[in-house]
Structure 1
Amino acid sequence: MKTLVIANQKGGVGKTSTLVHLAFDFAERGLKVAVIDLDTQGNASFTLAVHKSGIAASSLFGAVTPFDLAPIDNIALIEADPRLADLEKLDLGKAAEAFSEAVSIIESRGFDVCLIDTAPSLGIAMASALLAADFVASPIELEAYALQGITKMNATITAIRRKNTKLQFLGMIPSKVDGRNPRHTATLADLQAAYPALILPTPIGYRSSIADALASHCPVWEIRKTSARAATKEVRAMTQHIHDKMEIA
C-alpha cells in the first residue's frame, strides 16, 4: 500500500479538493482507496460522506485494536470527528506509533492506497501522518505569501525525514490559479525559478465547478457545466501525474 499525505501549513489552498479528486480518480482505476480525514473541519468527510466506515479518525491515535474497513465503490472513509481537537494533549511519540500501527492494519485489509487529509498546522495529527507516509504533496495558492508557506513546509518535511527516511516530497501543486491575474503569473514564475524540481506541471485553475463538485459529493468530471470541462482536464492531469510519481501498480 502507498500512503500519501496532502499537507500545507496554510489553509484554503485546495488540500481537500486535491485529496477527494485523487480518491475518486484512483477508485475509478479499480484501486482500493482508504481516506483518513485528520482535519477538524471535516470537509473531506462531507464530500465523501457516502463512503463513511463508521470509524473515527481520532481513534487511530490511541490503543489501536484490529478493525475491519470495507470500501464502498472502492473508497473507505475514516472520518474526522471532534476529538481530533484533543490530540495536542498526547505525546507525539506514542501517538505517531499508534497511527502507524493503524495504517499497517489498513494495509493488511488489502487497500492499495491510503490518502490522508490534514489540518493547516503542524500538530500531532500532521506530524504523525508524515511519520507514517510514503509521500507528501502540497497544494499552494499563488499569492505573495506562498513562498513563505513553502519554505515552512519544506523545513517541516526535512525535519520529518530525519525519522521517516522513506518519505518523498512529490512537490507543490499550484491551485486556484487565475491565468488572467498578473500577480498569479508572476508568482508562479517566481516559484518555478526558486523550486524548479518541486512545482508540479499540473496547475489547477480557480474554477467554480470544482466547488460545485465538492458540494455535490462528486468529482468535477460529473458536473454538467461547460466550465467543468477545463477543470476536468486540469484535475485529471494532476491525478495522473501523482499516480505515476507514486508508481502505483
Structure 2
Amino acid sequence: MKTLVTANQKGGVGKTATLVHIAFDFLERGLKVAVIDLDTQANASFTLKAFKSGLNASGLLSGQMQDYENASASSNGMTLIESDLGLANMEKMELKDAGGNFRAAIQMLSAAGYDVCLIDTAPSLGITMGAALLAADYVLSPIELEAYSIQGIKKMVTTIANIRKVNPALKFLGMVPSKVDGRNPRHSRHLAELTQAYPSLMVPTGIGLRSSIADALASGIPVWKINKTAARKASQEVRALAAHVYQVMEIK
C-alpha cells in the first residue's frame, strides 16, 4: 500500500479539494482506497460521507485501534476514516508516541487489502501532521499564489526536510498551484517566482480558480460529474493532476 499526505500549514489553499479528487480518480481506476481525515474541520469527511466506515481518525493516533483490525475495503472500493472531536486532544501527545501509533495503524490498513491511503491534514505544523508525515511515503502541498501561502510553504519545505531525517522514505511530490487566476498578474508573478526558487518542486499541472470544484465538493461528487460546461476545464485539470500523482507514486 502506498500512502500520500496532502499538507500545507496555510488553510484555504485547496488541500482537501485536491485530496478528494485524487481519491475519486483512484477509485475509478479500480484501486481500493482508504481516506483518513486528520483535519478537525472535517471537510473531507463531509464530501466523502457516502464512504463512512464508522471508524474515527483519532484512534489511529492514540493507539486505540481494536476496531481497525477488520477495516477491510468496503464493497464500493473506498473507506473513509473520518475526522472526530478526539483529534483536538492528540496535540497533547508526544510526536514519537503519536507517530508510532499511526505507523502501526497504516500497517493494519495495508494488511487489510488497500492499495493506497490518502491522508488529509489540518493546516498547522502540529502533532497530527507530523505523525502522518512520519508514516507516509509521499507528501503533496497545494499552494495558493498569494503572499501568506508562499510564506507558509517555505516553512512546509523545511518541515518535510526535518521529517525526512526520521522517515527517509518520505518523498516530496512538490507544490500544486491551486486556485490560480490566470487574469491576475500577481498570480502570474508569484508562480514565476516559485518556479525560479523551487524549479524541481513545482508540480507540472495546476488547478485554476473554478467554482465548479466547490459545487462538486458540496455535492459529494467529483467535478467531472458536474453537468455544466464550466466544469470541463476543472475536470481536465484535476484529472491531469491525479494522473501525474498516480504515475509518480508508481501504484500497481
On whether the aligned pair clears a TM of 0.5, the verdict is yes
C-alpha distance in 2, partners of 1:148/1:61? Answer: 29
Kindly state the Cα deviation for residue 91 of structure 1 after the two structures are TM-superposed: 1.8
Q: Of 192, 195, 202, which residue of structure 2 is paired with 1:192?
A: 195
65-74 or 53-62, larger mean C-alpha shift: 65-74
SS at match of 1:139: strand
In structure 1, the residue matched to 2:217 is: 214
User: Between Structure 1 and Structure 2, how many residues are aligned?
Assistant: 249
Q: Of 227, 230, 233, which residue of structure 2 is paired with 1:224?
A: 227
1:79-134: CA deviation from partner (whole Å, max 9, x where unpaired): 00011011111121111111110000000011000000000001111000000000
C-alpha distance in 1, partners of 2:135/2:238? Answer: 26
SS at match of 1:4: strand
In structure 2, the residue matched to 1:14 is: 14
Pairwise CA RMSD: 0.9
124-133 or 89-98, larger mean C-alpha shift: 89-98
Kindly state the Cα deviation for residue 36 of structure 1 after the two structures are TM-superposed: 0.2
- 1:122 matched to 2:125? The reply is yes
In structure 1, the residue matched to 2:167 is: 164
Question: AA paired with 1:175?
Answer: S
Question: AA paired with 1:227?
Answer: A
Question: AA paired with 1:220?
Answer: V
1:123-175: CA deviation from partner (whole Å, max 9, x where unpaired): 11100000000000000000123331121001000110000000000000000
C-alpha distance in 2, partners of 1:216/1:145? Answer: 29
1:47-91: CA deviation from partner (whole Å, max 9, x where unpaired): 000100100000111233352223242110000001101111112
In structure 2, the residue matched to 1:146 is: 149
SS at match of 1:174: strand
Provide the TM-score with structure 2 as the length reference: 0.97
144-153 or 109-118, larger mean C-alpha shift: 144-153
In structure 2, the residue matched to 1:99 is: 102
Whether the aligned pair in 2 keeps the contact of 1:51 and 1:72 (CA below 8 Å) is no
Structure 1 gaps, min length 5: none
Q: Of 166, 174, 177, which residue of structure 2 is paired with 1:174?
A: 177
Question: AA paired with 1:36?
Answer: I
Question: AA paired with 2:26?
Answer: F
C-alpha distance in 1, partners of 2:156/2:98? Answer: 21
C-alpha distance in 2, partners of 1:147/1:60? Answer: 31
- 1:50 matched to 2:50? The reply is yes
Percent identity of equivalent pairs: 63
In structure 1, the residue matched to 2:5 is: 5
In structure 2, the residue matched to 1:36 is: 36
SS at match of 1:145: helix
Whether the aligned pair in 2 keeps the contact of 1:34 and 1:71 (CA below 8 Å) is no
In structure 1, the residue matched to 2:250 is: 247
C-alpha distance in 1, partners of 2:77/2:235? Answer: 21
